[in-house]
A and B are shown apart, each in its own frame.
Chain A
């Protein structure tokens, strides 16, 4: 049963205080049987990456609604790369324009989810990617 326990880090980089989406997603992942580590607000990319490594998560999910995603999300991606953790599934969500979405996916994000995405979709995406 515990064989394929999926562990996910849900993080809020930067100063954005809107955590409704992050918390709804965290609850949905828990209800789908995953172990979710939530970082709370105002985290630096360095803190997020360090937590992801120590917690040995398979998935990191970032949320930002303040427009700082380009800078902060990319920093998380490049830090993960730098520390040799490209295998971690990296996803994001929030208020992110299409142009930036593409840019982030090029920078190492596996997927940026747009507003209105169902949690069911996120759950099945993670399960499929992690369990193959």
Chain B
């Protein structure tokens, strides 16, 4: 095992596609050796800007990603793309459809696209995706674009991961006050109203503007609202230049360190949670103590809070 993992790590660091592909599978499946692999590549991780795109299915995320990646590749940047799709809660399977929009990029020099299923991480990002970013950075990309399906409620992880977040919306899909309230406003650096030729685009953009006007970050920067028609290529250049300007700001304003720290904290938390699951929770399931707690709670003898405390202190 050790030798194989070492070889894999070397391959990734040398920039071999095949090694990266295999490594990504390893961390995604949480298979034996994945921690070793992360250990091995970590010293070689070369931080790079990360852009996050999020939005509901069908708003045009992939078309926009496709455009951005194409532009970056034209400049001979090496770009890594991670496209996250939800896993079916019923079968555990998934159809990863984002690649459909990006197939024109397949096989192009310097572009590596990987589809990942959310695998139970509710709308958010699984620890595997944080690790995938590390692998890409050890492989040596100039930029990473992460595309996630926003479900409107728990899509906040992306903020901890990406330097710059673009929230993609479109008119007429219920992207109205209610869904916007649900937390989206907190996460975007730029709000994109795609399909701006559809009815209601002006209203949506206006609504966003007014909701955002009172809101600014530590540097008194108000998020930007952009209208575009991605399918016709309209205003995509503007989005591109916004993202670049924002990146510049991040790098010159000291935000970069803050973002780094957020990412690291997030990764550490996720790994701790995973460890807790593996080492503590999973072995507990079905044990005598577990059953005892369940039946006591069901009989209304003690509350779940009581048992949680008792189990934890008992294990200390």
Contacts and interface: CB of A to CB of B under 8 A. Distances in A.
B99 interface: yes
B107 interface: yes
Interface in A28-49: 29-40, 43-44, 46-49
Interface in B130-149: none
Interface of B: 17-18, 21-22, 24-25, 28-31, 87-88, 90-97, 99-101, 103-104, 106-107, 112-115, 117, 119
Contact of B114 (A29, A49, A55, A84): A55
A40 B92 CA distance: 22
A33 B95 contact: no
A32 B31 CA distance: 21
A26 B95 contact: yes
B18 to A, nearest CB: 6
Contacts, number: 92
A34 B106 contact: no
B31 A37 contact: no
Contacts of B113: 51, 54-55
A56 interface: yes
A40 B103 contact: yes
Interface of A: prevailing SS: mixed
Nearest to B108: A50
B26 to A, nearest CB: 9
A38 B90 CA distance: 20
Contact of B103 (A27, A30, A34, A47): A47
Contacts of B115: 35, 37, 55
B29 A35 contact: no
A38 B94 contact: no
Interface in A14-72: 26-27, 29-40, 43-44, 46-51, 53-56
B103 A37 contact: no
- Greatest chain A CB density within 10 A among B31, B90, B96 is at B96
Contact of A50 (B25, B28, B29, B106): B106
Given A37-B115, A40-B103, A53 B96 contact: no
A5 interface: yes
- Greatest chain B CB density within 10 A among A34, A51, A54, A84 is at A54
A5 B115 CA distance: 14
Nearest to B21: A56
A32 B99 CA distance: 21
A23 to B, nearest CB: 9
B17 A53 contact: yes
Closest 7 CB pairs of A and B: A40-B100, A50-B107, A30-B93, A56-B21, A47-B106, A33-B92, A56-B25
A34 B114 contact: no
